Chain A
Amino acid sequence: MDREQREDLARRVLAFSQADQTEVLLVDRDASLSRFTHDAIHQNVASADLSIAVRAIAEGRTGVARTNVLDEPSLRDVVARALAIARHAPADPEQPALPVGAPPPAPAEAFAEATARATPQLRAQICEDIFRAGEADGLWAAGYAATERGGITVANSNGARASFDGSDAAANVKMNGGDSSGFAEAYDTDVRRLDGTLLGAIAARKARESAHPRDVEPGPWTVILEPAAFGELFSYIADHFSALSFDEGSSFLSDGLGRTYLGENVTISDDYAQPLAPGMPFDFEGFPTKRLALVEHGVARAIVTDSYWAHKLGRENTGHALPAPNASGPQARNLVVSAGSKNAAQLVAETKRGLLVTRFWYIRTVDQKKAIVTGMTRDGTFLIEDGKVTGGVRNMRFNQSILEALRHCEFASELSRTGGYSYSIVVPAVKIENFTFSSGTGF
C-alpha cells in the first residue's frame, strides 16, 4: 500500500471513531531474509502484513486495539473495541492531548527502490558471494542476507498527519574454521551497496588469523572494540536516556542534567538524519523527532520524551514515542557516538599489549544503576603486542561498567552502523583502558 492509500485508510478509520481523541497507526511491511549455514540456505523467508492500531481516548481514559483484517466491519470493530476498553480504564490525570506537529521530510536516502524490489535471487547471489570468499581457506559460512521495505502512517483526530517510507538491507557472516571463527556485517538502506564478497573476505581473514588461539589471563586489559562489539555494549545504556528511566531513578542521568558523567571526549546524539542510518523524522505519535545532543563532551544535556512524559515532567516533547500502548517510555532510536581523530589502525599501533575484540555475545545488565554488564567475546578475538595483532586468543567473559569504560576511552575516526535484533546504532571503534575480563573458555 502506498503513502496515499495508507493516508486515505487512516482518514476512513478516524471517521469511524466517536472517542474524544483518536490516533491511527498503520504499519505496512514486507520483509525477506535468506539465512545460510554450511554454504547452503536453510531458512529462506518472506512476510507481508499491514496492521492498524487505534488509540482511543475518552475522558482521560485510553484504550488501544489492533487488527490486520482490513474489511470495513473489522475496521469499524477495531475502532469500537479501542473505545470500549478505554471506558474500562481509570482516568489518567497525566494524559495530555494527542500531539500535533509538522515533521520535516525524511532523509532522501531512507528509501531505495532497489531494496524494495529485491528478489530472492539477489539475496541468494549475496549469499553465494559470501560462500566463495571462504572456500580457499576451507571455511564454512553461516549468516544471512535480508531486505525489507516498510511504510508507516500516523494520523490523529487533532490533525496530525505523518507518513514515512523506508527500506533496509543487511548481511552478516560468521566464517567457521576448525578452532576459530570470524565475523563481518553490513547494513544499508540500499541493497546495491551490500558487498557479499567483501564481507566474506573480512570474516574469512579473521577466522584465518585467529586460528590456533592461545589462552590469556582474565583481568584488566586494554581493549580495542570494533564497532559491532562497541555498538552492542553501548546499546545497554540506550534506555538510560529515556524520560521514564530518568524519572524512576534507574538511569545514570537521574542525578540531573548538566553534570559530567563521562569522559570529555564522549559526545552522544540521537539523529535520524545520520547518513549511515537515515530514518524516520517523526515518532509513533506522528510528532517531529528532534535531533538531540544527549551528551556533549561528557556532560549530560538531554533526555528523550514523548507527549506523555513531556507533559508529566514539564519538558519539551522531543518526539521519541514508541507505538501505543507503551509502558516502557520513550526511546532514543537513532543513537550516534561521535568519532575521534585517529583511525582504528593507529589505535592498534599505539597499544603495547591489549586485545582486539570483533564482537560480543549475550550481554546482560548485572547492575542497572552502575551500568555494569557482563557478556562474552566471540568470532575473532586477537592479542595485540607492541602495536601489532599477533594472533587469536580464546574467548573470555567480561564484567564491566559501561560508564567507567566511557571515562577511559579513545574513539577511532571512522563511524560504522551496527545492529542486532533490538537496536541499530552508529559508532566508531573504541579503545578502552582497564576493561575487566573475569573468566575464560576452552574455545
Chain B
Amino acid sequence: MSFDSTASRALDTASARGAAYADIRFEVARTERIEARNGVVATLSDSTSRGYGIRALVDGTWGFAAASDTSDAGLDRTAARAVEIAKAGAAIARRRFGEAPPKAYADVFATPVHRDPEDVPLNDRVNLLLEAERLLHAGPQIGVGRAWIDLWRTDKYFYSTIGSKIEQSIRQTGCGLQALAVGNGDVQTRTFPGDIGLYASGGWEIVERAGLRENAQRIAEEAVALLSAPQAPSGVTDVVLGGSQVSLQIHESCGHPAELDRVMGWEANFSGVSFLELDQLDKLKYGSEIVTISIDNTMPGGMATVGYDDEGSRSVRSDIVRDGVLVGYEMSNDTARLIGRDSNACVRAESWEYVPMIRMCNLNLRPGEIPFEHLFDDVRDGIYMESNRSWSIDDHRLNFQFGCEIAWEIKNGKRGRLLKNPTYGGITPAFWNSCDAVADAASWVAWGTPNCGKGEPMQSGRTTQAASPARFRGVRVGVGYGG
C-alpha cells in the first residue's frame, strides 16, 4: 500500500497554508478480541480502523488534526485544520514549545513474527479459550472464569516535509486468564500470566508461550484457597516481589516520572508532575547500586518496540537509572532540545486519531546475579507477593501504595503459608534504595502493558517493563488493612 501521493497532497496543503514543518501518519489498524466468560464466548470481534493525523508547526506552535476521510477534499480540509489550530495557539502563546525533528529517514520496519495468528484457524483460537476457561472452574466457588486473546496489527506510513518516509508493520499479541472466587463473604481474584496477561510484540508464538491451558487449574485453585487464607500482616518487613509486580513498580515509579514532558509540567493538570526534576539529573541516588533501568525500543518482543517513533526518530537504547543514579529521561524532540539533548524516540500515539506525545518506552530493570529461589535465603521474616491487584501513586510519583493478588509468608529463608490481600507502600527513592537483590536473567520476563493511560484526550499506550523478581528491605506492608 502506498500513500505517497496523498501524503504529498496533505503536506503541500499544510505548507501552503503556512506550516514551517508538517508530518502525516497514516495508520491501518486491525484488531481482534476473543473473550470466553463462564463457558460462552462473550466477545468475538474484528475491527478495522483507517485514518491519518497531521501535525503542523506554525511560529513554534503545534496544531494537530486527524480524520478518516482520505478523499482529496478530506485531506485538504484536515491539513488546513491542523494549520488553523496551530495559528490559533500561536496567537496567544507566551512560550514556543514546538520543535521540528532534525533528521529525515527513509526506512521500513516490521515486527518479527514466528507464527502468523491468521494461520491459526479462528475455530482453534476460540476453542483454546473455551478449554482454558473451562479448566478455571475448579470448584463451585469460582463465580467467574475469563480467558482472552488480543491480536493487533498496525501498519503505519509516516511522511514529513523534511523528507522522511517510514513504513512500519507492527504486530502485537496478548492473552490471559482470570478466575474470580466468591465465598466466606469475600471475593478473590487470580490472573495469569502476571496481572494483565502476557502481552508482547510478535505473533501466535506468544499465546503458545503463555501456557493458558497448562496453568488454568492452578490459578483457579489459588483463587479458591485465598478465600480461606489469613490476612497478610501489617507492619514493616522484608518483601520479595514477583517479576510482574517489579515490572509494575518500574512502570509507575520510574517510567512515568522519567517522562520529560511530565518533568516540565506538560502533564501538570492531569497525570501530574515528577520528583525527577532537572536539577536532579546525574545527581539523584534514585536506587541502590544494583538498580539500572534502561530504555530499549529495539528489544525483541517489547510492546514499544518499533523502528521509529511517531515523530520519525529512530529507536535507541539509553539509560534512565545507571548503577542507582538518575542519568536520563524519556524524551521527544521538543523536550530534548530544552535540556540540550537529542530525542531518544519515546514519542507515540495511541492511533491515527491521536497526537503523538511522550509515552513510556520499553523500560527494563537489569537482571541481577542470583537465582530467584535464593532471594528468600537471607530473609528471616518477610512476605513474597505476586501479581498486581491495586496500584496508586501520587501526582509527583513519590508516595505509592500497591496491592497484590497473592502472597506467601517467608520464614527463615523459606516460603511458607498463603496470605491474602497483601499490600505495601512507600516513597519511591527510599524504596528503590532498599533493593538489595535482583534475580538473575533466568527469571527475567518482558512484561507488556497494553493499557497505560496518559494525556488529554486520554491515550492508551503499550509498553513493556522487563524485570526479574527482586528483594526490598524494611518495607511498610498491610496498608489499607490496618497498617
Indicate if A173 sits at the interface (CB-CB under 8 A): yes
Which residues of A sit under 8 angstroms from B483, Cβ to Cβ? 438
Contact across chains for A44 and B94 when beta carbons are under 8 A apart: no
Contact across chains for B88 and A88 when beta carbons are under 8 A apart: no
The answer to whether A366 and B423 touch (CB under 8 A), given A38-B94, A68-B48, is yes
Which residues of B sit under 8 angstroms from A358, Cβ to Cβ? none
Indicate if A325 sits at the interface (CB-CB under 8 A): yes
Of the stretches A59-67, A299-307, A425-433, the one at the interface is: A59-67
Complex Cα spacing A366 to B416, Å:
24
Of the stretches B15-23, B163-171, B389-397, the one at the interface is: B389-397
Pick the residue among B51, B130, B146, B394 that contacts A327 (CB under 8 A): B146
Q: Interface code A282-293, partner B: CB below 8 Å = 1, 0 otherwise?
A: 000000000000
Indicate if B331 sits at the interface (CB-CB under 8 A): no
Which residues of B sit under 8 angstroms from A85, Cβ to Cβ? 44-46, 122
Q: Which residue of A lies closest to B124 (CB)?
A: A88
Contact across chains for B401 and A43 when beta carbons are under 8 A apart: no
Indicate if B229 sits at the interface (CB-CB under 8 A): no
Indicate if A138 sits at the interface (CB-CB under 8 A): no
Contact across chains for A47 and B265 when beta carbons are under 8 A apart: no
Which residues of B sit under 8 angstroms from A375, Cβ to Cβ? 392
Smallest beta-carbon distance A235→chain B, Å = 14
Which residues of A sit under 8 angstroms from B47, Cβ to Cβ? 65-67
Contact across chains for B89 and A443 when beta carbons are under 8 A apart: no
The answer to whether A248 and B91 touch (CB under 8 A), given A49-B67, A92-B40, A361-B395, is no
Q: Which residue of B lies closest to A82 (CB)?
A: B46
Of the stretches A10-18, A118-126, A156-164, the one at the interface is: A118-126
Indicate if B399 sits at the interface (CB-CB under 8 A): yes
Which residues of B sit under 8 angstroms from A181, Cβ to Cβ? 268
Smallest beta-carbon distance A311→chain B, Å = 13
Which residues of B sit under 8 angstroms from A38, Cβ to Cβ? 94-95, 265
Of the stretches A28-36, A96-104, A335-343, the one at the interface is: A28-36
Contact across chains for B186 and A362 when beta carbons are under 8 A apart: no
Indicate if B453 sits at the interface (CB-CB under 8 A): yes
Which has the most chain B C-beta neighbours within 10 Å: A45, A249, A326? A45
Contact across chains for B45 and A66 when beta carbons are under 8 A apart: yes
Interface residues on A, range: 35 or more
Which residues of A, 387-425, contact B by the 8 Å Cβ criterion? 395, 397, 399, 421
Q: Interface code A321-335, partner B: CB below 8 Å = 1, 0 otherwise?
A: 000011100000000
Indicate if B353 sits at the interface (CB-CB under 8 A): yes
Complex Cα spacing A174 to B269, Å:
5
Contact across chains for B453 and A40 when beta carbons are under 8 A apart: no
The answer to whether A37 and B268 touch (CB under 8 A), given A47-B353, A131-B94, A421-B453, is yes
Complex Cα spacing A63 to B34, Å:
10
The answer to whether A361 and B187 touch (CB under 8 A), given A327-B35, A399-B480, is no
Complex Cα spacing A48 to B186, Å:
45
Which has the most chain A C-beta neighbours within 10 Å: B40, B123, B143? B40
Smallest beta-carbon distance B157→chain A, Å = 16
Smallest beta-carbon distance B47→chain A, Å = 4
Contact across chains for B392 and A363 when beta carbons are under 8 A apart: yes
Which residues of A sit under 8 angstroms from B68, Cβ to Cβ? 48-51, 68-69
Complex Cα spacing A2 to B354, Å:
24
Smallest beta-carbon distance B429→chain A, Å = 12
Q: Which residue of A lies closest to B268 (CB)?
A: A142
Which residues of B, 82-139, contact A by the 8 Å Cβ criterion? 82, 84-89, 91-97, 122-123, 126, 130
Indicate if A172 sits at the interface (CB-CB under 8 A): yes
Contact across chains for B187 and A249 when beta carbons are under 8 A apart: yes
Contact across chains for B394 and A395 when beta carbons are under 8 A apart: yes
Indicate if A442 sits at the interface (CB-CB under 8 A): yes
Contact across chains for B89 and A441 when beta carbons are under 8 A apart: no
Indicate if A46 sits at the interface (CB-CB under 8 A): yes
Contact across chains for B392 and A249 when beta carbons are under 8 A apart: no
Complex Cα spacing A90 to B339, Å:
57
Complex Cα spacing A92 to B41, Å:
8
Smallest beta-carbon distance A272→chain B, Å = 23
Give the A-B pair count, Cβ closer than 8 A.
Answer: 270
Complex Cα spacing A125 to B89, Å:
10
Indicate if A434 sits at the interface (CB-CB under 8 A): no
Which residues of B, 16-68, contact A by the 8 Å Cβ criterion? 33, 35, 37, 40-51, 53, 61-68
Indicate if A260 sits at the interface (CB-CB under 8 A): no
Indicate if B403 sits at the interface (CB-CB under 8 A): yes
Complex Cα spacing A374 to B53, Å:
38
Indicate if A127 sits at the interface (CB-CB under 8 A): yes
Contact across chains for A325 and B45 when beta carbons are under 8 A apart: yes
Smallest beta-carbon distance A159→chain B, Å = 24
Pick the residue among A40, A63, A366 that contacts B45 (CB under 8 A): A63
Residues of B in contact, count (CB < 8 Å): 88
Which residues of B sit under 8 angstroms from A365, Cβ to Cβ? 390
Contact across chains for B396 and A31 when beta carbons are under 8 A apart: no
Which residues of A sit under 8 angstroms from B43, Cβ to Cβ? 64, 325-327
Which residues of A sit under 8 angstroms from B299, Cβ to Cβ? none
Which residues of B sit under 8 angstroms from A45, Cβ to Cβ? 63-66, 85, 354-355, 457
Contact across chains for A64 and B45 when beta carbons are under 8 A apart: yes
Complex Cα spacing A336 to B62, Å:
39
Indicate if B258 sits at the interface (CB-CB under 8 A): no
Which residues of B, 363-406, contact A by the 8 Å Cβ criterion? 390-396, 398-399, 401, 403
Contact across chains for B456 and A35 when beta carbons are under 8 A apart: yes
Which residues of B sit under 8 angstroms from A94, Cβ to Cβ? 40
Indicate if A42 sits at the interface (CB-CB under 8 A): yes
Pick the residue among A46, A131, A326, A363 that contacts B65 (CB under 8 A): A46
Indicate if A250 sits at the interface (CB-CB under 8 A): yes
Which residues of B sit under 8 angstroms from A68, Cβ to Cβ? 48-51, 68
Smallest beta-carbon distance B81→chain A, Å = 6
Complex Cα spacing A124 to B93, Å:
9
Smallest beta-carbon distance A25→chain B, Å = 12
Indicate if B72 sits at the interface (CB-CB under 8 A): no
Q: Which residue of A lies closest to B33 (CB)?
A: A325
Indicate if B458 sits at the interface (CB-CB under 8 A): yes
Contact across chains for B398 and A43 when beta carbons are under 8 A apart: no
Contact across chains for A46 and B81 when beta carbons are under 8 A apart: yes
Indicate if A9 sits at the interface (CB-CB under 8 A): no
Indicate if A372 sits at the interface (CB-CB under 8 A): yes
Which has the most chain A C-beta neighbours within 10 Å: B43, B185, B392? B392
Q: Which residue of B lies closest to A181 (CB)?
A: B268
Contact across chains for B126 and A89 when beta carbons are under 8 A apart: yes
Indicate if A439 sits at the interface (CB-CB under 8 A): yes
Complex Cα spacing A433 to B266, Å:
36
Complex Cα spacing A249 to B143, Å:
8
Contact across chains for B394 and A248 when beta carbons are under 8 A apart: no
Q: Which residue of B lies closest to A86 (CB)?
A: B44
The answer to whether A421 and B65 touch (CB under 8 A), given A65-B45, A65-B47, A88-B123, is no
Which residues of B sit under 8 angstroms from A67, Cβ to Cβ? 47-49
The answer to whether A121 and B44 touch (CB under 8 A), given A38-B94, A68-B50, A248-B143, is no
Smallest beta-carbon distance B64→chain A, Å = 4
Contact across chains for A250 and B180 when beta carbons are under 8 A apart: yes
- 11 A-B pairs whose Cβ atoms sit less than 8 Å apart in the complex: A40-B89, A42-B266, A44-B62, A45-B85, A46-B66, A49-B49, A65-B45, A362-B395, A364-B390, A439-B401, A441-B396
Other A-B contacts than A44-B62, A174-B268, 12 sampled, CB-CB below 8 A, are A44-B64, A51-B49, A74-B48, A119-B88, A142-B266, A144-B456, A249-B187, A361-B272, A366-B401, A372-B480, A399-B480, A421-B456
Partner-A contacts on B (CB < 8 A): 33, 35, 37, 40-51, 53, 61-69, 78, 81-82, 84-89, 91-97, 122-123, 126, 130, 143-144, 146, 180, 182, 185-187, 189, 264-269, 272, 353-355, 357, 390-396, 398-399, 401, 403, 421, 423, 425, 453, 455-458, 479-481, 483
Task: Give the 6 A-B residue pairs with the shortest CB-CB distance, closest first.
Answer: A120-B88, A41-B89, A142-B268, A325-B43, A249-B182, A421-B458
